Amino acid sequence: MSKILIIADHDGSNLNAATAKCVACANQIAGAEIHVAIFAEDGSAVAAQASALDAVSKVLKVDNPANKSPLAAVIAPQVTAIAAGYTHVFGASTTFGKDLMPRVAALLGVNQISDLMEVVDAHTFKRPIYAGNAIVTVESPADQITVATVRTASFTASGQGGSATIEFAAVTAAIPTHTRYIELKAGKSDRPDLQTASTVVSGGRALGSAEKFQLIYDLADALGAGVGASRAAVDAGYVPNELQVGQTGKIIAPELYIAIGISGAIQHITGIKDAGTIVAINKDEDAPIFEIADIGLVGDLFSVVPELQAALK
Amino acid sequence: MDKILVGLKRVVDYNVRVRVKSDGSGVDIEGAKMSINPFDEIALEEALRIKERGEASEVIVVSIGPSEAQQQLRTGLAMGADRAILIETGETIDALTGAKILLEVVKKESPDLVIVGKQAIDNDNNQTAQMLAALWDRPQATFASKVEFSDGVAKVTREVDVGLETIEIDLPAVISADLRLNEPRYVKLPDIMKAKKKPLEQIPVADLGIEIGEQIKEVKFEAPAQRQKGIVVQDVAGLVAALKDKGLL
Ligand SMILES: Cc1cc2nc3c(=O)[nH]c(=O)nc-3n(C[C@H](O)[C@H](O)[C@H](O)COP(=O)(O)OP(=O)(O)OC[C@H]3O[C@@H](n4cnc5c(N)ncnc54)[C@H](O)[C@@H]3O)c2cc1C
Ligand SMILES: Nc1ncnc2c1ncn2[C@@H]1O[C@H](COP(=O)(O)O)[C@@H](O)[C@H]1O
C-alpha cells in the first residue's frame, strides 16, 4: 500500500493552493494514505487548512524557529528524518518545491521525478520533457521511496470536506546555519493570483514599455483577471519576473487565457497548454500563437485592446 | 575566491523542435543542432564576470557527456573559461548520478563556488544544483538573478513565485542560474582560435568509480496532446460574440 507524504507550500499563514493539487495527484494512486507535513515556525493556521483537504488523513506539524523561512538546506534534512515509512514524498512544482525536493531526494539517495503530470499507477507516471514537446512515461523502482514534484496545472485541487488529525511531529535533524534568509520582495497586487486565476491576460514584447503595459492591467481589471507576460516583456523590464509564463516561468491552466502581442514561442506555449480557451491578439497573421489559439484576432493591439475594453463596459 | 566550477551540458539547441520517434522509443534528435544549455551559458557568463571583477582567479568548465561535448567545452573556453574537463560517457545519466559525478570533480578541484544552470532544457529536470549541494553538504542558492560576494559569503537574489527572495550563503556553495542573471557574451573569432590551445582534460567516467545505471526507467515516449487551431474572428465584436458563445463573458 502507498503511504504518501506531501510537503506543504505556505507562507506561514496560508496554505498555497498548489498543495491541494498535490494532494489530488497523490489521491490518484489507488488506496493511498496521504499525510501533509508543515514546516513552519508555528504551523497552526496552515495545519488547520491542510486538515480540511479531502483525502488527507493526517497533518504533521513540524514547528521550529528555524523553519520560519522556506530554506531548502534547513528543511531538507528534517523531511528526510520523517520520510522513513513512506513510499512517496511529493511536493508541488512551485519554486519552493523545486528548490527543496531534489535536495530531499539526494539525501534519501534516490532520483526525483520532476513535474509529474499524470499518475498511471503507484510507480508509473508521465512527465513532460523538451519544453513539453514530448511526454515520457517513467517507472520508479518499487523498492525505493519515490520523490516527485507535481505539475500543479495538470490536477484539479482536492476538495475541502476533510478533517484530518493534526499531530505535532518531533524531528531530530542537524540543521545547518550556512544558509540564511534575508528578505522577500513580493510583488504586491490586488489582482487575482496568476497561478489560480480563472482568467489571465498576458502581454508580450509588443507592448513596448512599462507604461504601455498598463493596457494589459486595465483589460485584466475589466475582466477580473490575473496578469501574465512573456519572457521578452519581463526581460525588457515592462513587468516583474513573477509574471513570466512558460517553460521557465509559471505553468498555468486558467479557463480563459488572452495572449496579447505574444508570438507564441514553444517556451511560452508550454506554460499555457492546459488553458481552457486561448485567445490570441497579434498583428501578424502568421504568428505561431494562432496555431494553438481557439479564438484568433489579427490586429494592432493598440487599437484592439482599448476597443475590447470599451466593449466590456 | 580561488576557483569557480561551471557545468556545461550539451543539449539540443533551443530552437530545434524535437519530435517523438514513431515507435515511442525516444525523441528523434539525429542530426539536430547541439548547443550549450542556455542556462549554462548564463552560469558561465556570471563566473567570467566574477573573475573579471577580480573576485576569482580561475574558471573551469565541466561537461558530462559524449566525446562530442568537447565542442561545447571549446565554446566555453572561447567565452573565457581557463580550462575544461570532460567526463566522458556515451550513456544518458540521471540527475543523481550527474550530481555524484560533479561531486567527484568538486573533490578533485575544491572550488569555492559551483555555478550550474537552473535546468537542462532537454530533460527539464531542475535538480542537479540541489542534489550536488545536498551530497556535498553545502548551501544552495537556486534560480539566481543576482549574486554578490563579501568575505566568503554570497548574497543571492532568487526568482521565486511571489517575487524576489534574498538569501546569504557561506562558501563553498552551489548556485543555479536563472534567465535574468545576465546576458551572455558572444564568442569572437580570435577567441575561438585561442581556445584551441587551452587545456581540455578528458576523463572516462569509469575512472571515477561511480555506478551508472538508470534508477528511474523511461519506458515510453509520446507526443503531447495537440491543441487544435480554432477560429479567427474579424473584429472585436466577433471576439466578444465568440467569448459569449463559450460562456466566458
Ligand atoms: C531557455 C529558454 C527559456 C525560455 N523560457 C521562456 C518562458 O518561460 N516564457 C516565455 O514567454 N518565453 C521564454 N523564452 C523566450 C521565448 O523563446 C521567446 O523569445 C519569447 O517568448 C518571446 O516573447 P514575445 O512573444 O513577447 O516576443 P516576440 O517573439 O518578439 O513577439 C512579439 C509579437 O508581438 C506582435 N506584435 C508586435 N506589435 C504588435 C502590435 N502593435 N499589435 C499586435 N501584435 C503586435 C508580433 O507580431 C510578434 O508576434 C525562453 C527562451 C529560452 C532560450
Ligand atoms: N551532463 C551534464 N554536464 C554538465 N553539466 C550538467 C549536466 N547535466 C546537468 N548539468 C548542470 O546542471 C544543470 C541543471 O540540470 P538538470 O538538473 O538536469 O535540469 C544544467 O543546467 C547544467 O549546468
- With a cut of 80, say whether residue A82 has pLDDT above it: yes
Contact B140 A231 (CB under 8 A): no
For the stretch B109-127, pLDDT in tens is: 999 999 999 999 999 999 9
Find, in chain A, the residue whose alpha carbon is nearest to that of B172: A178
Contact A130 B12 (CB under 8 A): yes
Q: Which of B18, B129, B135 sits opposite A134 (nearest CB)?
A: B18
Instruction: Tell me the domains of chain B and their CATH numbers.
Output: 3-245 (3.40.50.620)
Query: Is A154 in the same domain as A223?
Result: no
Query: Is A11 in the same domain as A129?
Result: yes
- Is A179 contained in some domain? no
Q: Of A298, A150, A289, A155, which is closest to residue A230 (Cα–Cα)?
A: A289
Q: Point out the least confidently predicted range of A87-91, A244-248, B114-118, B165-169.
A: A244-248
| Domain final position from A117, A151, A168 | A168
Which ipTM was obtained for this model?
0.96
Find, in chain A, the residue whose alpha carbon is nearest to that of B244: A312
- Is A122 contained in some domain? yes
Contact B20 A99 (CB under 8 A): no
Query: Is A229 in the same domain as A144?
Result: no
- With a cut of 80, say whether residue B213 has pLDDT above it: no
Query: Is A268 in the same domain as A125?
Result: no
- B140 Cβ closer than 6 Å to some ligand 2 atom: no
- Is A271 contained in some domain? yes
Give dist(CA B237, CA B243) in Å, integer: 10
Query: Is A22 in the same domain as A162?
Result: yes
Average pLDDT on A257-265 reads 98
- Is A257 contained in some domain? yes
Give dist(CA B172, CA B87) in Å, integer: 22
pLDDT band at A313 (very low <50, low <70, confident <90, very high): confident
- Is A187 contained in some domain? no
Query: Is A157 in the same domain as A232?
Result: no
Query: Is A54 in the same domain as A162?
Result: yes
Question: Who wins on pLDDT, A188 or A121?
Answer: A121
Query: Is A14 in the same domain as A151?
Result: yes
A254 by DSSP, 3-state: which? coil
Query: Is A52 in the same domain as A105?
Result: yes
- With a cut of 80, say whether residue B214 has pLDDT above it: no
pLDDT of residue A188: 81
Mutate to test the interface with A, among B125, B161, B168 (most CBs of A within 10 A): B161
Q: Read off the CATH number of the domain in which A35 is found.
A: 3.40.50.620
Contact B124 A178 (CB under 8 A): no
Give dist(CA A56, CA A26) in Å, integer: 10
Query: Is A205 in the same domain as A163?
Result: no
pTM above 0.80, yes or no: yes
Query: Is A116 in the same domain as A224?
Result: no
- Is A176 contained in some domain? no
What's chain A's average pLDDT?
96
Range of the structural domain that residue A265 is part of: 199-312
Query: Is A234 in the same domain as A163?
Result: no
Distance from CA of A20 to the nearest CA of B (A): 17
Closest ligand (CA of A280) = 1
What's chain B's average pLDDT?
96
H/E/C letters for each residue in B184-247?
A: CCCCCHHHHHHHCCCCEEEEEHHHHCCCCCCCCEEEEEECCCCCCCCEEECCHHHHHHHHHHCC
pLDDT of residue B212: 80
For the stretch A116-143, pLDDT in tens is: 999 999 999 999 999 999 999 999 999 9
Q: Which of B122, B124, B167 sits opposite A71 (nearest CB)?
A: B167
- Is A181 contained in some domain? no
- With a cut of 90, say whether residue B211 has pLDDT above it: no
Mutate to test the interface with A, among B18, B94, B126, B175 (most CBs of A within 10 A): B126
Q: Read off the CATH number of the domain in which A271 is found.
A: 3.40.50.1220
- Is A174 contained in some domain? no
Chain A residues with CB under 8 Å of B238 CB are: 297
pLDDT of residue A83: 97
- With a cut of 80, say whether residue B194 has pLDDT above it: yes
Distance from CA of B17 to the nearest CA of A (A): 7
Q: Which of B141, B219, B248 sits opposite A256 (nearest CB)?
A: B248
For the stretch B7-18, pLDDT in tens is: 999 999 999 989
| Domain final position from A114, A148, A168 | A168
Total domain count, chain A: 2
pLDDT band at B55 (very low <50, low <70, confident <90, very high): very high
DSSP run (H or E) holding A246:
none
